[in-house]
Structure formats: C-alpha cells, structure tokens
Structure 1
Amino acid sequence: MSRINDQMTPSYRWAKRAHDTVVSAVIATAHGKPVELGGGYDFPDTLPDIVSEAMAAAQSKHETLQYGPLYGLDELRDAIVDYLRDDGITTARENILVVNGAKHGLDLACRVFVEPGDAVIVAAPTYLNAVQILKNAEAHFVSIPQDDAGIDTEILRQRLQARHDAGEPMPKLLFDMPDFHNPTGIAMSAARRQRLVELAMYYDFFIIEDDPYRRIRFEGEPVPPIKAFDNTGRVIGLGTVSKILAPGLRIGWVNAAPPILRRMASQKSDGGTCPFLQRTLVQLFRNGKVDQHIATLSTLLRLHRDTMIDAIREHLPGTSIRTPNGGYFLWVRLPPQIDADELVRRAAKEGVSTLSGRLCFAEEPSDSFLRLAYSFSTPGQIADGIERLGRAYAAMRSEFGPPPHRDL
C-alpha cells in the first residue's frame, strides 16, 4: 500500500496562528538554575496556606467536584463585587463572569469582538501576552506611545480622527493596564482615564481594562479605575488573583455589561471554571486572607524593588529607570549601543534570566529596553542577579564602545 507521506518525521500542517508561536523556556547554564529576573511570578515565600480552605471546599464535593456553573459560583461573584466596590466600582453579580485568569477573559473578549483585520488600540509598549492573544485573533494594531501619565490620549485622539477623516473603520477595542503597567510600571493619571472613556464613547470603541497589580501599591494614593468613570458600559474590566494571591489558583473575572457577558460565556469551552478552586477562593475572601496577603506582599515587594533599583544604579551605569509605586516590574532603558536581545543572551550565560523589551511592542519593536521583574527572587538573589547582568552589560559596553553623541 502506498503512503501519501512516507517520511519518518511527520510534516506538520500548522494552522496559521501557530506558525510564529514562540515558547520561552528557562535556559540551563553552567551556574545551575538561573536567577529569575524576567518572569512575573509570585514570590514563593509568601504563597498562601490554603489547606483549611481547601479542606472546607472538599466537604461540598457534590458542588466542588462537578462541572462548575458557566458564570461561576454565585458566592464568589458576590465576593468579587465586594472586592471591586473597595476600588470605587459599582457593579452587581449579573455583571461578573468567573474565568481562568485575566488572559482567559481577554481571549473571550477577542472571540466576541474581533474579526480578522479589526483594529485594536494598545500602548507602546504593552503586555507581551496580550500582544500574542491579539495576534492570535488576527487583530490589526494601532500602537499609541505613553508618557509618565500613561497612554497619550491626545495622540490617540489625533490618530482616531485621522482614521475617521480617511474613511477607515474605527478600532473595536483598546487594551491597557492602567495601574503599575506591565512592563513600564506607569500608573495612568485620573484625567487620562476619564479622557479614554470620553474617546471610547465619541469614536465607538470598547476599553479592556486589565488591572492585576492595582492592590500591590508601595506609595501614593490610588486613582479610581477606568471602570469607575464608565456610566454607559464602555469598559470591560479584567481581574485576577494571580498577582495578589497565587497564579496556580487560575481564577479571574470579567466585569462587564450583561449583553457582553452572555456572549463571552457562550464562548467558554472549559465546562465552567473549576468549582473546587472557586469555593476555596470564596473562603479566602471571607476570612480576610486575601487582604492580609496583599498587605504582606506589598511590604515585601517594596523592599525587592528598592534592592533592584540600588543594584541597577551600581552595576548598570548609563541606563535609566522609572521608579514604579507598585506592581512587579522595572522598565530599563539601555544606552543606544546596547542591543537588548544580545544582552539577554549574554546574561543567560552569566546565570540570570531576563526579558528583552522587544517582546512588549506590538509594532516596531525597540531593542533599547529590558523588562525586569523583582517579584519572584529574594533581595539577595536580586542583588546577585543584577551583578551578573552587570558583567554581561560591562562586556558589551567595552566591546561596542561609548554611545554615539546625541545633540541636546
């Protein structure tokens, strides 16, 4: 019998969306396990003890070991409503959909809103996993720069008006992280948040507000979420316990108008988010462990941030950083002669895992930035990791010479 394909190794007929998929992995080095300064993982020493809550959940196995309700457990949805109320957001159970983390919520939003070629507004830079999800949805990007107040709403207005004047279709969505933005650490001003809602109404697009880091605050007063400025249902809020509690719980939520939630829920293919984990989280909200954990984590991560900044100033001269008031990340601008991708490769050989900022741009990627995370490693490991990074950095500066002169 003849065979259509007689090769020993099969010829994979990939779907278009899978052709350019890149899976990152920890690089083994001569130093052993690398110091992790790239990924936004939770700090292992503070992961919560959930044994008693899990045992309580197990007592209701008729609920927790079955398929879960499509929208989530009512008690958890009510707990999320209370949690959001503390941030100044007025919502109700019918506005909450429980999902498997915020990325799941973004994926569902793309399924119900984005057709191939539809325009989606993002900041430049933006969250790298959001870029991949939007690419999988075959979105067309409209990238808008940021400054210290967040996404530049005047440049956005100009770009939108130009599209309107040219007869081009308006973007359907805007995605952003307004609080301790990943990767830049920027907290958007209240005026910019309000202006975004005004622009969304005028130019007919919806805002996806992803807010995983809002409660991880070190200094300053909180600004109301974008959703708090929304009176017409233009904002789709995404939340998660991955950064404030534990990513392994895989619980997030969408806060949106019921017509949006109905369509998003219909696209869920998970049979309902795990009810065992939902019931466990209900107990953690009820007994105050969520708030306690956030307070502990915020105190520790402030020390981590300060340690990393001090080490960068010592070992990476010529770079510039913005000090974030919360969150997980530092955004490091490199001198012009230092290529971020090459620095990441050399740093790996020194035994430290970092992330090139190139991955955080949906369009026109820049090779001038590193995204560093201070969330996972201890202060001692952070200091050691930045010192190792500094060795790779110093070698590149010596090899490539001083930066080119730039007129002021």
Structure 2
Amino acid sequence: MSTHPSHPDSSPAGPHATADPLATKRPAPARERVRWPLDLGLPDPSTFPRSAFLHFAGQALAEGDTSLLYGGPGRAGIARGHAGLRAVLADRYGGAGGADGVMLTSGAAHAVELLWRATLSTGDTFAVEAPTWGASIRIGRALGAEPLAVPMDQDGMRIDILERGLADLEARGGRLKLVYVIADFNTPTGWSLSLPRRRRLLQLAEEHDFLVVEDRVYAELRYDGPALPAISALHDGDRVVTVGSFSKTLAPALRCGWLSAKPDLVCAIAATREDLGSSRLTAEILEPFLRTGGYDRHLSDVTRLYRGKRDTVVSALRTHCGDAVRFDIPHGGMFFWIELADDIDGRQVMEETARAGILCRPGEAFFGDDGDHQQWFRMAFTKVAEPELARGVQVLGEAIGRSGKRSGSRL
C-alpha cells in the first residue's frame, strides 16, 4: 500500500477550515471535451437495474392510482413518505422507532437540508470533518450557523481535537448543536471513523447534549476490510440521526433518500416541510426491490465491479505515476485521495489534466482558505468504464510528468 498523505491534522479546529468542494477558483473545461470525468462520484450507468425498475413500476401502476398520488394520507403521511418503503428501511437499518422513525426525502442532500432547518439557527455551531462534503456547510451557513471544522486522519474525525473545540466553545458561552460525519468512506479521503472514536463521539454527545448526524451514503459500497457498526447501532437512538440515499448505490435520478431518528424528532422535522413529500411511485418501485432481495444482489454485483475498478486504478497509479503520488487504497466508497510529491506543481497538474480531457476535484476546493492544499486531489473511479480508467490514469501520469515545479517538467 502506498504511503498515505501527510494530512494537515495537527492544528486546532476552526470555523473556516473547510469550504464547499464544488467551489473552485479554476474554470472547468466544457464537459463535452472531457473524456475522463474523474471528478464525479456517480455510479456506473451499466449497473442501473432498468429491467427491475420497469417490472416494479408496471406492477405499481397496474395496482391502481395510489402510486401517482402523494406519499401517504394527511399532512403527516405526505411529509414522511410511503409507509411501505419506510417500514423496509426501518427493518433493514434498525430505525429507532420503526417506520415512524423514518422519513423519505429527495436524496440525502434534502435530508440534510431539512434536518439543518429544524435544528440550526443564527449563532449556532455545528461540527464537520475537515475535509467533507461542502453542502453540509453551505446549508448551515445559509441559516446563520457556523461550522467547527475538525481535522481527520486515517481513523476518521480527530475526536481529541473535537473535545478541545468543545471546551473552547463552551468557555465562550457557546454550545455545539450537532456533529456531522460521513463515518464510512468519507469524501474526499475515503477514510472511516474507527470504532473507539464512534463510541467516544457518542459519549461526548451525551455529555455535551448535541446530535450526531451519520451520513451513510457510501457505507454499502464496501470492497474489503472489516465492516464497522453504524453509529446508530451503538446507541439507543436518542442522539443519533442517520441519513441515507440510493443515489450512489442505485441511480441518482431516483432522488430517494431518507433520514432515521427518534420519532418525535422525525415528527418535528416533518412539520417544517412544505415540499409535499417525495415520489410515491419511486417508493413503490423500491419497496419490492428491497423486499425481494434485488437490492442485495445489486449491491453484490456493483461492489464486485467497483472493487475491480479500484484495483485497476491502484495498478495504473503505481505504473504511470510512481513516486510522484502517495495514496491509500480505499476500502470502499468512490474516491482516491491523492497527494502529489513536493516537486510537483499541483495547480499545473489540474490545468494539464483538464487540457488532456481529464477532470479531478482539486484538493484546495475541500479546504478553502485554511492553508495551501493544492498538492491533493480527489479522483473518482466508479463511473468511468474500466479500460478507460487505465488509459485515463496513464494520461494523468503524463500530465504530472509535465508539471515539475522547478524545471516545468519532472521527467
């Protein structure tokens, strides 16, 4: 395994340490000129279970008109979504209150937005991993709340630094409202929160009265390594909210996600909704797909495919990039988090790759103004076909070779 990046995790957490990963200072090339879209965390289109969706859609439509109506009877039913799928999700993921503890949403981003609106307001503080998915920060700041960015290492969020941040916040009369973690296969790093840190995070939640929000959008894309228990499985559910989605495992256009929490919190969140709920037809397609084992078979197929793609990228990086890059082999998720050698100009690499038809996500886009992170970039590997992945990494290596800091060319 290659050496992992020397991650900037020793400084105290600060409110501006993480920024929107969608925001970048460089204009992207027109996407029609992009041959290798390695910036996008998307499923491989060849894996979309079209025939199963057609079958279950026809079944739902043949049974009557309810699949074309709102998600359930009354305002509460509309806000929470189709009860059948909620029950399946509660059984599968251990919802604290059964179907009453689950609410369907239009993807995980929608779940996060609804939860933030229900729990955060002006002057509040919430903690995130640094780096992390930037929409969680954007939404909080739009509500007047400020993020406390907590650095990571290979065992996930540095809980010791979170503790120091908590002490400082409380000494100033503040209070942490929630901690948001992508505990399995964080984006962009691919790192997971260790079991001891999961337990300590829950202890801190009890001691300091905050919510733990666990985003599990990548958790079922596991290729090897031990499966860690969900944070919700380590607790009675009073302080844990789980967010999930089918966008990464099935297809983004389904726009079906969920959140799971204690029923009274779900009720409070549902009461804030004005969007008239999520698609009942989609829910009625997904419910039997999960009940009959189709989803588990699909996961088995896609993880086998993505494991092969991951291994292809590892081999190609070692062959074509050599000691110019350092990385960990991800045990799951969709991304490689890659550090460039010191004598490589990271900005030039991104420019060279874009000209060659490759897009990766530059590292500084995940950290904003907190130091210089141009030596890192995130590379997605799930969407592009496997033969094209190998060729893309070869072209990446050529771009890196043209990007030496001192001479303008490393090779």
- Whether TM exceeds 0.5 here: the answer is yes
Write the letter of the residue equivalent to 1:375: T
Give unmatched runs, 5+ long, in structure 2.
1-20, 72-77
In the other structure, the counterpart of 2:111 is: 105
Distance (Å, rounded) in 2 between the aligned partners of 1:354 and 1:372:
5
Distance (Å, rounded) in 2 between the aligned partners of 1:400 and 1:242:
44
1:182 is paired with a residue whose SS is: coil
Deviation string, structure 1 residues 241-264 (Cα, Å, up to 9, x no partner):
112212111111110112221221
In the other structure, the counterpart of 1:243 is: 248
Deviation at 1:219, TM superposition (A): 1.0
Does the C-alpha gap of structure 1 residues 362 and 225 become closer, same or farther in structure 2, counting only changes over 3 Å?
A: farther
In the other structure, the counterpart of 2:81 is: 72
Does the C-alpha gap of structure 1 residues 339 and 66 become closer, same or farther in structure 2, counting only changes over 3 Å?
A: farther
1:172 is paired with a residue whose SS is: strand
Q: Is the 8 A contact 2:97 2:262 kept in 1?
A: no
In the other structure, the counterpart of 1:4 is: none
2:88 is paired with a residue whose SS is: helix
Deviation at 1:346, TM superposition (A): 2.2
2:186 is paired with a residue whose SS is: coil
Give unmatched runs, 5+ long, in structure 1.
1-19, 404-408
Distance (Å, rounded) in 1 between the aligned partners of 2:407 and 2:113:
42
In the other structure, the counterpart of 1:272 is: 277
Q: Is the 8 A contact 1:126 1:362 kept in 2?
A: no
Q: Is the 8 A contact 2:328 2:336 kept in 1?
A: yes
In the other structure, the counterpart of 1:51 is: 54
Does the C-alpha gap of structure 1 residues 193 and 402 become closer, same or farther in structure 2, counting only changes over 3 Å?
A: farther
Q: Is the 8 A contact 1:141 1:363 kept in 2?
A: no
Does the C-alpha gap of structure 1 residues 383 and 103 become closer, same or farther in structure 2, counting only changes over 3 Å?
A: same
Q: Is the 8 A contact 2:22 2:365 kept in 1?
A: no
Distance (Å, rounded) in 2 between the aligned partners of 1:341 and 1:288:
46
Deviation at 1:221, TM superposition (A): 2.2
1:174 is paired with a residue whose SS is: strand
- What does 1:143-158 correspond to in 2, within 5 Å? 143-158=149-164
Q: Is the 8 A contact 2:326 2:340 kept in 1?
A: yes
1:330 is paired with a residue whose SS is: strand
Deviation at 1:163, TM superposition (A): 2.2
In the other structure, the counterpart of 2:139 is: 133
Q: Is the 8 A contact 1:84 1:90 kept in 2?
A: no
The 10-residue stretch of structure 1 (276-285 or 213-222) with the greater mean CA deviation from structure 2:
213-222
Determine whether 1:332 maps to 2:338.
Answer: yes
Q: Provide the TM-score with structure 2 as the length reference.
A: 0.86
1:186 is paired with a residue whose SS is: coil
In the other structure, the counterpart of 1:210 is: 215
Distance (Å, rounded) in 2 between the aligned partners of 1:381 and 1:191:
40
The 10-residue stretch of structure 1 (204-213 or 64-73) with the greater mean CA deviation from structure 2:
64-73
**2:402 maps to which of 385, 395, 401:** 395
Does the C-alpha gap of structure 1 residues 258 and 362 become closer, same or farther in structure 2, counting only changes over 3 Å?
A: farther
Deviation string, structure 1 residues 70-123 (Cα, Å, up to 9, x no partner):
2111111111012214xxx65411110011111111001110111133211111
Q: Is the 8 A contact 2:309 2:381 kept in 1?
A: yes
Distance (Å, rounded) in 1 between the aligned partners of 2:258 and 2:273:
13
Deviation string, structure 1 residues 27-86 (Cα, Å, up to 9, x no partner):
337x9442111110111111112110111121245211122222111111111012214x
Q: Percent identity?
A: 29
Does the C-alpha gap of structure 1 residues 200 and 247 become closer, same or farther in structure 2, counting only changes over 3 Å?
A: same
Distance (Å, rounded) in 1 between the aligned partners of 2:239 and 2:147:
20
Q: Is the 8 A contact 2:345 2:405 kept in 1?
A: no
- What does 1:349-364 correspond to in 2, within 5 Å? 349-361=355-367, 364=370
In the other structure, the counterpart of 1:160 is: 166
In the other structure, the counterpart of 1:219 is: 224
Deviation at 1:342, TM superposition (A): 3.9
Distance (Å, rounded) in 1 between the aligned partners of 2:405 and 2:255:
45
Does the C-alpha gap of structure 1 residues 379 and 104 become closer, same or farther in structure 2, counting only changes over 3 Å?
A: same
Which segments of structure 1 move beyond 6 Å, counting only runs of 4 or more? 23-26
**2:384 maps to which of 361, 367, 377:** 377
Write the letter of the residue equivalent to 1:28: A
Write the letter of the residue equivalent to 2:387: G
Write the letter of the residue equivalent to 1:371: R
**1:296 maps to which of 278, 294, 301:** 301
Deviation at 1:128, TM superposition (A): 2.9
Deviation at 1:354, TM superposition (A): 1.0
Deviation string, structure 1 residues 322-341 (Cα, Å, up to 9, x no partner):
11111111100122354544
